[in-house]
């Protein structure tokens, strides 16, 4: 009887085993006046539920292009992307139910200047027709989660860059996305703020069990946050190597002084150097 009870509260096995994201043979060409750019080609990648994958690679290697295809913003020229076993793209049309589970954070925080922090965070809920009271409550919880309690009524111009980026993360989390796509979200921050943001992001992701695809140019940041680091090379953008980072989580900043951490950083750096 006990096992029946356990089985009844667990999702069916297929739900647990199936990758959250299944990317197969994905490619994207851009046709411009000066010819065709093979931005991304032949990408195969399975991402598990709750996994944190960092994408690194030189400028122009196709990281943003890949992220936009996963995020339903750009149709692939080839291949398939499945979200929970369902195709995300049908030709150039995106499955609208799949993208409701996504949260996107861009390099710039993209907050609306005329909305308060709270209204910015609550906006995706408003667009989905969630009632005022519920969305304010949820936005308040999220503001606290990203360390912005007390700043709910502030306007973006009154916040520091790091605070704005945290508000953007809270906004991306407002719809409870279990897939978070982040394109160099901390690129514009100073080293200390960035370190704090890394810790905060790790905490939020662990708390919400989100699956994350995170683009960064910063190798230590990738190794610190990720379960796997995917190194892409340009023209066409392909996967060159995938490095697992097995250190248990939550990780502390001290990890960055350990030999195991530095070995992985060194290996990735060397691989980037040897690209050509």
Ligand X SMILES: Nc1ncnc2c1ncn2[C@@H]1O[C@H](COP(=O)(O)OP(=O)(O)OP(=O)(O)O)[C@@H](O)[C@H]1O
How far apart CA 18 and CA 31 sit, in angstroms, is 35
32: partner contacted, choices Mg ion, ligand X, none (Cβ within 5-8 A by kind): ligand X
Q: Which of 39, 47, 54, 64 binds Mg ion (CB under 5 A)?
A: 64
User: Does 165 engage in binding with ligand X (CB under 6 A)?
Assistant: no
Give 22 or 63: the residue with its C-beta nearer to Mg ion: 63
Residue 182: alpha-carbon gap to chain centroid: 4
Dihedral of alpha carbons 63, 68, 71, 77, sign:
negative
User: Does 34 engage in binding with ligand X (CB under 6 A)?
Assistant: no
Q: How far is the CB of 91 from ligand X (least distance, A)?
A: 19
How far apart CA 77 and CA 272 sit, in angstroms, is 27
Contact code string over 236-255 relative to ligand X, x by CB under 6 A: -x------------------
How far apart CA 216 and CA 218 sit, in angstroms, is 5
Q: Per the omega criterion (within 30 degrees of 0), is the bond before 67 cis?
A: no
Q: Which of 23, 26, 53, 64 binds ligand X (CB under 6 A)?
A: 64
CA distances from 260 to 168, 244, 247, 267, 274 (A): 33, 12, 9, 11, 21
C-beta atoms surrounding 55 within 10 Å: 27
Give the three-class secondary structure for 157. Answer: helix
Dihedral of alpha carbons 37, 107, 109, 104, sign:
positive
Q: How far is the CB of 64 from ligand X (least distance, A)?
A: 3
Give the three-class secondary structure for 229. Answer: strand
Give the three-class secondary structure for 264. Answer: helix
Count of chain residues binding Mg ion (CB under 5 A)? 1
User: Does 59 engage in binding with ligand X (CB under 6 A)?
Assistant: yes
Give 27 or 103: the residue with its C-beta nearer to ligand X: 27
Q: How far is the CB of 147 from ligand X (least distance, A)?
A: 27
Residue 68: alpha-carbon gap to chain centroid: 11
61: partner contacted, choices Mg ion, ligand X, none (Cβ within 5-8 A by kind): ligand X
Q: Which of 7, 25, 30, 100 binds ligand X (CB under 6 A)?
A: 30
Segment interacting with ligand X, rule: CB under 6 A, options 55-63, 91-99, 171-179, 196-204: 55-63
Contacts to ligand X by CB under 6 A: 30, 32, 37, 39, 57, 59-65, 237
List residues binding Mg ion (CB under 5 A): 64
């Amino acid at each position: 009887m006990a096992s029946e009870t356990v089985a009844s509260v667990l999702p069916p096995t297929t739900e647990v085993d199936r990758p959250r994201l299944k990317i197969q043979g994905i490619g994207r060409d851009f046709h411009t006046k000066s010819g065709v750019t093979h931005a991304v080609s032949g990408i195969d990648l399975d991402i598990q539920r709750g996994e944190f994958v960092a994408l690194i690679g030189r400028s122009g290697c196709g990281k943003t292009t890949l992220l936009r295809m996963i995020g339903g913003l750009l149709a692939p020229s080839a291949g398939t992307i499945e979200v929970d076993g369902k195709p995300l793209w049908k030709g150039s049309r995106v499955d609208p139910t799949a993208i409701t589970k996504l949260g996107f954070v861009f390099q710039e925080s993209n907050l609306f200047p005329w909305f308060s922090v709270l209204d910015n965070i609550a906006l995706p809920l408003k667009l989905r027709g969630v009632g005022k009271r519920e969305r304010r409550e949820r936005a308040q919880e999220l503001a606290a989660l990203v360390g912005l309690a007390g700043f709910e009524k502030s306007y973006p111009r009154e916040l520091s860059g790091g605070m704005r980026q945290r508000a953007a993360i809270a906004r991306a989390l407002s719809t409870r996305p279990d897939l978070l796509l982040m394109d160099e979200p901390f690129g514009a921050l100073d080293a200390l703020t960035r370190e704090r943001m890394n810790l905060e992001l790790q905490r939020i992701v662990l708390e919400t069990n989100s699956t994350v695809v995170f683009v960064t140019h910063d190798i230590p940041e990738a190794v610190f946050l990720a379960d796997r680091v995917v190194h892409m090379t340009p023209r066409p953008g392909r996967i060159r190597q995938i490095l697992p980072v097995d250190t248990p989580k939550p990780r502390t900043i001290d990890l960055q002084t350990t030999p195991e951490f530095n070995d992985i950083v060194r290996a990735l750096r060397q691989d980037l150097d040897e690209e050509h």
